[in-house]
Structure 1
């Protein structure tokens, strides 16, 4: 018996990996994060699969579900929104499973920021404009951010900034980032990326807070900030450029 932590992707049922679909089809138990998941993803499960929505369960209750399946000799898919490597509580859950001697593995998924970038048709790393992407969040009703990871420090790099779990503080964020990026810096907000309820907002640090508040976004949104989001005049990458042989 194995607990399979599976990235459910940004929500759309057809953005799962082939491996993820096979695990859903073959596992008798599926513990899923219902808050961010398109219900059609669960259509990949076999008839009779025990479905457990974890959105109202605490870590002890989730662990108990996984342990009960292990005791019964049943494989479990633990569906995580996006990719398990980002803000999925993978570390907390696997630490508990290790203590209980329960085997587990991880199947990656499409992260929400990648789906958001695809929706707007933008590369987040543009030659000589931005070659780094910072994936971060802000401290709200959650664990504190490490002292070395202040938003101001990240903004000072002027890298493409991707903020998760931060949409409720959009006005404060835009005001804070305007000093480093400039008030006219482009901002894209994508909520429920790839799902029928998807919302896409384009603007700047000067006007994005008004847009977000106007449509009432409160969760499941990715905020992307940086000049790469609108760059048109930039040098071409050497990746596909001519290769010069040295003479000698």
Structure 2
């Protein structure tokens, strides 16, 4: 069996129990070496073969998978965070489907939730935002025109921007154009949950300078929105005046 496993954002204990068990049983592990902590590999059994996909092509990855399956081996394709978000797993799964090779996908903790936890905030606050937008700025990988960062920012929703800190100036300008103001709170979280995690807080007015001062050029989440520091209404779920299926109002 081939298992696509989300390794989590960095801290090795943020992998799921199911993902850890699959690693322990694996005969072959193909891991995203540029982002996944190698400490995950210490949980593998003796004799397990490791392949760092950072230096491999899609075809080379598939060849190793196919060869392992033909030998009856257990294979883990270890992706950073959650494999379904910017994981490039679709192209792998399509080829496996063509070859009639079965596989499974095991979710993981994404860096966007890890980053929000690092700054001790909540994306969805009553009367502030009930929507979270996950996106990235255009780089070597294009973005559909109707998903331009400026247009998405105009909704005023909570945002988590992946793979974009290297273009922080461009990101900020597009966000300013979308939000139509410069006092929008923003957080840049470098390597969320890793030992060398850094958190930079600011607004659209000053975040670029702060990020540059910290030397952050990659491996960071950009979180934007009033959920970071705005006022909010108390949740009805635990309000004593609110009745729901499991509790009657007490006031």
TM range (shorter): over 0.9
Q: Report Cα offsets for 1:106-151 as digits up to 9, x if no partner.
A: 1110000010011110001111011110000111112x21222121
Consecutive unaligned residues in structure 2, runs of 5 or more = none
- Larger mean Cα displacement after TM superposition, 92-101 or 42-51: 42-51
SS in 1 for 2:24: helix
Give the match for residue 166 of structure 1.
Answer: 164
Give the conservation status (yes or no) of the 8 Å contact 1:11–1:41: no
Inter-partner Cα distance in structure 2 for 1:5 and 1:12: 18
Consecutive unaligned residues in structure 1, runs of 5 or more = none
State the shift of 1:197 in Å: 2.2
State the shift of 1:215 in Å: 2.2
Give the conservation status (yes or no) of the 8 Å contact 2:150–2:177: no
- Larger mean Cα displacement after TM superposition, 144-153 or 110-119: 144-153
Give the match for residue 236 of structure 1.
Answer: 234
Give the conservation status (yes or no) of the 8 Å contact 1:6–1:109: yes
- Larger mean Cα displacement after TM superposition, 204-213 or 91-100: 204-213
Give the match for residue 68 of structure 1.
Answer: 67
SS in 1 for 2:218: coil
Give the match for residue 117 of structure 1.
Answer: 116
State the shift of 1:161 in Å: 1.1
Give the conservation status (yes or no) of the 8 Å contact 1:12–1:40: no
Inter-partner Cα distance in structure 2 for 1:68 and 1:208: 48
Give the match for residue 193 of structure 2.
Answer: 194
Inter-partner Cα distance in structure 1 for 2:210 and 2:63: 42
Give the conservation status (yes or no) of the 8 Å contact 2:12–2:40: yes
SS in 1 for 2:146: coil
Inter-partner Cα distance in structure 2 for 1:20 and 1:69: 19
Partner residue of 2:148 out of 124, 132, 150: 150
Give the match for residue 58 of structure 1.
Answer: 57
CA RMSD of aligned residues (A): 1.4
Give the conservation status (yes or no) of the 8 Å contact 2:151–2:178: no
Give the match for residue 96 of structure 2.
Answer: 97
State the shift of 1:183 in Å: 1.1
Inter-partner Cα distance in structure 2 for 1:148 and 1:202: 29
Give the match for residue 107 of structure 1.
Answer: 106
Inter-partner Cα distance in structure 1 for 2:92 and 2:117: 30
State the shift of 1:172 in Å: 0.9
State the shift of 1:155 in Å: 0.7
Inter-partner Cα distance in structure 1 for 2:32 and 2:204: 31
Question: Would you say 1:20 and 2:27 are equivalent positions?
Answer: no
Number of residue-to-residue matches in the alignment: 243
- Larger mean Cα displacement after TM superposition, 212-221 or 10-19: 212-221
- TM-score (structure 2 length as normaliser): 0.93
State the shift of 1:210 in Å: 1.1
State the shift of 1:213 in Å: 1.7
Inter-partner Cα distance in structure 1 for 2:232 and 2:226: 11
